[in-house]
Structure 1
């Protein structure tokens, strides 16, 4: 309502746009609010939202609203397109229906082009029938409302994120410490959701003083500053843990925060890359181990739940392992190592101060599942 009020003051909104406003509210506004709790998982959400509103699809939607088919044609087309769309949404959930999903998606694209060409043909015959100020305002209204709505959505996402994190703090801390921690969180982290989440994870029930709370905040701030400007690491000692964490980002295996797990043992991991949609599907994981300044061991693990698919799985694993090898050692992986991965053969290859090893660990269960470890480790004891 505030957005509409501001637009009405400038003359961009009038009562004849009430229908368009209501449609935007139901099809964009409410849907955006329904996804607000997922914004924290997508750092580029607002950038994507702005791009989406600037797409040329706005023009095609505008033309569609002014050029309609006859009732008989629409009674045929609308149910068909609706059925195809619903089937696409259903088939997308299961990889077994991938061929059907691909076929129907292409079919829908063909439908779209046919309709678009028809609209362009009609528009070319009578362009001035719709090029006027009221129609232009109707075209721009969804875009303007979406842009004005984004700050509210962002603020709401920040509020909900803080509420979620503060619930955790309330459980772990005494009432007095919770009040202090909440105030420090707002003052020190502001809009920094990553820093806040990282700090909350480090607070435990044994955090019994305000000094400890401040120390943990300082630690998170210090680590964030280092990550923004990471120090150079001598290749003879290992790898930069921050660079190593990004070695496989193109493969969907970007590691998270590099942090201390026990005394001088530091660690980061990437969310497992599942090779399927089920919880029991085969997956690939990536881990970085080392000290606070240097990554010493890079570990890629293939978990095989269904050995009958092992050839394709090992080929995929070979591709990712080869990329990790080239990133870590600045050279192409050897055929000997690739064959060992394909055959699940345990070997160790020494390359100066670096060892490259492959080992298979059977689970000993009825399915015959196993893990394949591909490890690159710097044996230097310094740093």
Structure 2
């Protein structure tokens, strides 16, 4: 026991004890035992194990480098293993999401280089007695679970407030304990060993990012090549497509995905046709970076119009071919955080390759009783879209029609404006409120 306590602090021992209890409980349960076996089987597949082994070798090489230049010593082995198990490995499982989140690495760096890293180190350094830590672990898990449940229902607001108070008071005791320990052991914190320990995670994170990036590239390319294999039965043509994808897209993973998704629109079946689709897509990407000027009578630049609304959920990702000669961009669904009814707002831009001629903002009302706040947002976004599209403020007759949810059709210069309420006829009295601006009288 003495050797264990020398190697691990009381918090780590407490977490280990509860983890072992949880594993034993899983193994003794018939239903959970089979699921646990499935998880283990999924982990020990060759592809995953090869990348985990590669990660271990990669980090080990940098640890040796850190050791040579004095940034790492053997007493940091435990912290290094913890970083690999609970940070690096977890990040690896998220690698397939990196291409979809352009801020992934920035957030990763911010988390590991933030000012609070010293406080986190001190909280982990100065723990309570083992019996206290053994009580803290289940209590924290129980409180977190209760808060997650209470946060989703307004009728448990008092419970949520009480739990927040418990967290606040507990945090005060922890801070007091840490400050008292720092005062008593201040001279110990002024050592080079402590500085190495504080800098260990930031250093490992910085050098681990390139490995994650390469893993992300590999995973996305594998995923897209599998999709290509279903679209191309000719193996020689498939190999050609893969080579061209690597050569032309390189690290442009979003471009690669869009190109593969467009496959069903053009159905290229020869090398020449494949090259044409890549060239056409590259031209499209150039247009997105430098949108051409669109005359008012033609409509609007789709690459500008799709970003007119401030909400991230209402910003369509791309303007792409839809059907025949039509192109479109459709946003996600803007919802209120605590509204689970399905009420939401969407925005779409439609037109030709170079010019958008139809803008639509749609409010889907699944439960009208919960709609007041979202309806107010819809009204504001209509006014903003109207001003951006026409260059003038929205008229009072339009804002009044939105408030009353009444149909209205009129013309503003060369543009045709409409607001229509489409009733679904279901038991929830659901409806769509559709606002459109168009260069054509549809």
Instruction: Using structure 2 for the length normalisation, give the TM-score.
Output: 0.78
Residues 267, 106 of structure 1: alpha-carbon distance in 2 compared, 3 angstrom cutoff: farther
- Please state how far the C-alpha of 1:44 moved relative to its aligned partner: 0.9
* Number of residue pairs the alignment of both structures matches: 380
CA–CA separation in structure 1 for the residues paired with 2:354 and 2:96: 35
Asked whether 1:179 is paired with 2:264, we answer: no
- Please state how far the C-alpha of 1:107 moved relative to its aligned partner: 5.0
- Please state how far the C-alpha of 1:102 moved relative to its aligned partner: 6.7
1:191 is aligned to 251
Q: Select 1:66's aligned residue among 125, 128, 133.
A: 125
C-alpha RMSD over aligned residues: 2.7
2:86 is aligned to 27
1:210 is aligned to 271
1:201 is aligned to 261
1:129 is aligned to 188
1:273 alignment partner, SS class? coil
- Please state how far the C-alpha of 1:282 moved relative to its aligned partner: 1.4
CA–CA separation in structure 2 for the residues paired with 1:236 and 1:106: 60
CA–CA separation in structure 2 for the residues paired with 1:91 and 1:339: 38
Instruction: Using structure 1 for the length normalisation, give the TM-score.
Output: 0.89
Q: Select 1:372's aligned residue among 433, 437, 442.
A: 433
Deviates more, 1:226-235 or 1:158-167: 226-235
1:225 is aligned to 286
1:289 alignment partner, SS class? strand
Counting only pairs closer than 5 Å after superposition, residues 1-383 of structure 1 correspond to structure 2 as: 1-70=60-129, 74=133, 77-91=136-150, 94=152, 99=157, 104-105=163-164, 108-109=167-168, 111-124=170-183, 126-173=185-232, 174-204=234-264, 206-250=267-311, 252-275=313-336, 281-379=342-440
Residues 65, 312 of structure 1: alpha-carbon distance in 2 compared, 3 angstrom cutoff: closer
Which has the larger share of helix?
A: 2
CA–CA separation in structure 1 for the residues paired with 2:104 and 2:200: 21
Contact 1:303–1:370, Cα closer than 8 Å, also in 2: yes
Structure 1: 5+ residue runs without aligned partners? none
CA–CA separation in structure 1 for the residues paired with 2:114 and 2:385: 37
CA–CA separation in structure 1 for the residues paired with 2:154 and 2:211: 40
Deviates more, 1:12-21 or 1:231-240: 231-240
What does the per-residue CA deviation read over 1:195-239, in whole Å, with 9 as the maximum and x for residues that have no partner? 101110121394211111111111111111111111222334322
- Please state how far the C-alpha of 1:138 moved relative to its aligned partner: 0.7
